[in-house]
Amino acid sequence: MNEQVRSSKEYVLENPLEFKAKLLQWAQQFEEVIWLDSNDYKQQYSSYDAVLAVDAFTGIKTDYYNGFDKLKEYQEQTQDWIFGYLSYDLKNDVENLVSKNQDDLGFPDLCFFQPKKLFLLKGNTLEIQYLRMVDDEIEEDFEYITAISIETGVFDKDMGQPCEKIKISLRITKDVYKEKVNQMLAHIHRGDIYEANFCQEFYAKNSCIHPLQTYYHLNSISKPPFATFFKMNHCYLLSASPERYLRKEGKKIISQPIKGTAKRSLDIKEDKKMISDLEKDLKERSENIMIVDLVRNDLSKTATKGSVKVEELCKVYSFDQVHQMISTVVSEIGSNTSPVDVIKTTFPMGSMTGAPKISAMQIIENLEESKRGLYSGAVGYFSPEGNFDFNVVIRSILYNKEKQYVSYTVGGAITAKSDPDKEYEECLLKAKAMREALEGTSF
């Protein structure tokens, strides 16, 4: 048990939205920052509207080798709030797999930290939890944050030198993408797999961005329920993810895979038709149901007998940019089951791999050109009680400030009914928000 105990204070906020902007600006002074924002998206399973964790007291960074065992040891020893991420390449710790594709970002495979300073926002109630070593700063910090003037520009501390206009390059051309999708389809027709998530990277070398401004732009386009601003020294994640990977509430485990995407329309009648068409789309439904079966199987590895259930199947939810088909699968675990083991036995998430899972991951590795890294991994937290909540890292921009490398990756599920041209169009639809956010950051 960690001897550090947290002091806690509660405040009632007059303007939570304004305070959020001030809080995130204040956070930029720290080397370790995680900001999680639901954008007030109303959902059944949530604890907070927004969370900020800054300033590491302890931390863990490691490659994939024994990564989950190291995380389990860290989580059990700390028994406190810890925040961080799991990269997709932790698959190599779970299965006999490799990651040999090009990696220009160079993020660690796993990274978590125990924050000295923690802010938990729900409605207009703000709870501040500081480790005792800094708890005399709670009042002073709250007053300082409240006094920040956002009229003078939210991004002042973030600006530095102006950045040139970004030139985005494609890791593979449209023709090569279609050729690779056809190779994936050949695997499906041969019976090697039923479905696989195939991804492509867009990137910019020798480029700089203003991370906070870019995050605000990306978040304003999408307003997703699992938005993230993450900073670890020179490594940044700016995420507009709509998808939950896994959540633990006591003994209950919740997984909410997304499979199925449709455009939005400004015309209300046309928009409703797009929802209806997505609900009835046999290809999209079959994609979703295949992943639901995979998730049920993954959850059964730690579930008590008979507790795996599908709460919602193929329900369409609407976001600012797209409609998404989401299913909710739940289970219960025994009181002695480690929270890290629940993650280890379900990782990587089925919506980003395919079915059967191991075969799909092997084929993905052979056909993709870039190492996924943090993309299609997960960001989130463990609470002192061992509860957790993690998103799926999609619709995200990754930035290595030191290497001046900017990257975003998009993908889609390939099934027997996939058309390479339509899959490419769906990729561009998913990439639209990231491209817009990046192209809007030049000065």
Note if 279 is an active site residue. Answer: no
Task: Count Cβ atoms within 10 A of the Cβ of residue 232 and give its class: 0-12 exposed, 13-18 middle, 19 or more buried.
Answer: buried
Q: Where are the alpha helices (DSSP H) in 129-223?
A: 138-147, 156-159, 174-190, 211-222
Specify whether the CB–CB gap between 430 and 319 falls below 8 A.
no
Q: Locate 96 and state its tokens.
A: 């006999």
Q: What is the largest CA-CA distance in the chain?
A: 65
CA–CA separation, 443 and 441 (whole Å) = 7
Pairing of the two strands 252-256 and 235-241:
unpaired
- Cα 278 vs. chain centroid, distance in angstroms? 24
Is the bond leading into 348 cis (omega within 30 degrees of zero)? Answer: yes
Q: Locate 83 and state its tokens.
A: 């925040």
- Cα 284 vs. chain centroid, distance in angstroms? 22
CA–CA separation, 9 and 135 (whole Å) = 10
For domain 6-439, is the CATH number 3.30.460.80?
A: no
Q: Is 30 helix (H, G, I), strand (E, B) or coil?
A: coil
Nearest to 324 by CA among 377, 269, 275: 275
Q: Locate 23 and state its tokens.
A: 């809080």
Cβ neighbours of 143 (radius 10 Å): 9
Pairing of the two strands 125-131 and 110-122:
antiparallel
CA–CA separation, 35 and 391 (whole Å) = 12
Specify whether the CB–CB gap between 361 and 349 falls below 8 A.
no
pLDDT tens track of the chain, all 443 residues? 455 689 999 999 999 999 999 999 999 999 999 999 999 987 788 899 999 999 999 999 999 999 999 999 999 999 999 999 999 999 999 999 999 999 999 999 999 999 999 999 999 999 999 999 999 999 999 999 999 987 655 554 545 678 888 999 999 999 999 999 999 999 999 999 999 999 999 999 999 999 999 999 999 998 999 999 999 999 999 999 999 999 999 999 999 999 988 889 999 999 999 999 999 999 899 989 999 999 999 999 999 999 999 999 999 999 888 899 999 999 999 999 999 999 999 999 999 999 999 999 999 999 999 999 999 999 999 999 999 999 999 999 999 999 999 999 999 999 999 999 999 999 998 899 999 999 874 43
What pTM, to 2 d.p., does this model score?
0.95
Note if 259 is an active site residue. Answer: yes
CA atoms within 13 A on the CB side of 78: 28
CA–CA separation, 196 and 218 (whole Å) = 27
Active-site pick, 22, 70, 259, 344:
259
CA distances (Å), origin 397, targets 236, 411, 438: 8, 14, 9
Placement of tokens 């007291």 in the chain = 57
Specify whether the CB–CB gap between 338 and 73 falls below 8 A.
no
Residue boundaries of the structural domains of the chain: 6-439
Active-site pick, 32, 201, 243, 287:
243
Summary count for the chain: helices (H), strands (E): 12, 20
CA–CA separation, 87 and 372 (whole Å) = 8
